[in-house]
Structure 1
């Protein structure tokens, strides 16, 4: 097959894969009711005058499905970590026992679950739009290439097959995330 057409297929596949990776990252940020260390990924702590990600000054883990623990590597950081979590607008109320910061993650209400599900659906739809845009760009590039019409149509079919495959993957990821969100 034409080298340029192969390049179009490869670059389109790569762009579509990036949309999936981005979707998975966005889904990790959607809280699904059970405690996860990633819930605190955006928290930064004032560590000797510089803003440092929480994961770089403490060990973040989970005790159970509704409790996150943050164990600082330096005990004098307990109050700074507590303050950073409160100021992060995540809606958590941290407590410390002198050794560890403990965060109880409240159970989601039915209404909040529905809203999170809608948000996940919108995020999945954005990923599909991105995949379709990648397909459109590939189709435009194919038209510019000097190759036989048969070769172009084969490549267009391959691009459409990629689009279908990645769209189906988005749907599957959404179904999994939605089940996770709606599970009580």
Structure 2
């Protein structure tokens, strides 16, 4: 019967949550002037014939507020890890000490802070686009269900549910962006 057609709102919600989780991961990689092991997560190293995250090649530590160290387990990988960090665009100059790579985190100047807030804004916009794409998928499901006999009242109900979910997640993205920008601009 046409009355039992339902839209999987939980699936849409999970997919929107995935966009926000991805945004938080990208934000963790943005340098804010304080040392954090998570800033190395997006960096991949060409190790043993495949791209490998740094944390699978050595131990990442934060011994001081402005220092990250990586104790690389395989001596042969030290130079490759160092090269990957240099080419990552983090703006950090690695220093070698045997199998330990030290990453001193310099103070951020005002200009660099502004650049980082713009980058954070771009990350947030990508997340918004991902949420809107999920919304579009939900609306397409509703249109298809309408064609399969969904009533106009049900169609309006589901459209408002999907829109409400979208607004909630866009609001979360905006809040997350605002707090990250404040963190970046904090001296």
Scaled by the length of structure 1, the TM-score of the pair is: 0.81
1:35 Cα deviation after fit: 1.6
Q: 1:83 to 1:152 in 2, by over 3 A?
A: closer
User: Which of 116-125 and 82-91 deviates more?
Assistant: 82-91
Which secondary structure does the structure 2 equivalent of 1:5 belong to?
coil
User: Which of 71-80 and 96-105 deviates more?
Assistant: 71-80
- Matched with 2:133 is 133
Q: 1:51 to 1:153 in 2, by over 3 A?
A: closer
Q: 1:149 to 1:105 in 2, by over 3 A?
A: same
1:160 Cα deviation after fit: 1.4
Which secondary structure does the structure 1 equivalent of 2:108 belong to?
coil
Matches of 2:10 and 2:50, distance apart in 1: 42
- Aligned residue runs from structure 1 range 18-57, under 5 A: 18-41=18-41, 42-44=43-45, 46=47, 52-57=52-57
The equivalent position to 1:167 in structure 2, one of 165, 170, 180, is: 170
Number of aligned residues:
182
Runs of 4+ with deviation above 6 angstroms: none
Matches of 1:25 and 1:46, distance apart in 2: 23
User: Which of 168-177 and 78-87 deviates more?
Assistant: 78-87
The equivalent position to 1:157 in structure 2, one of 137, 155, 160, is: 160
Matches of 1:77 and 1:126, distance apart in 2: 33
CA contact (8 A) 1:92 1:103 kept: yes
Matches of 1:116 and 1:94, distance apart in 2: 20
- Matched with 2:15 is 15
CA contact (8 A) 1:45 1:54 kept: no
Q: 1:115 to 1:3 in 2, by over 3 A?
A: farther
Which secondary structure does the structure 2 equivalent of 1:180 belong to?
helix
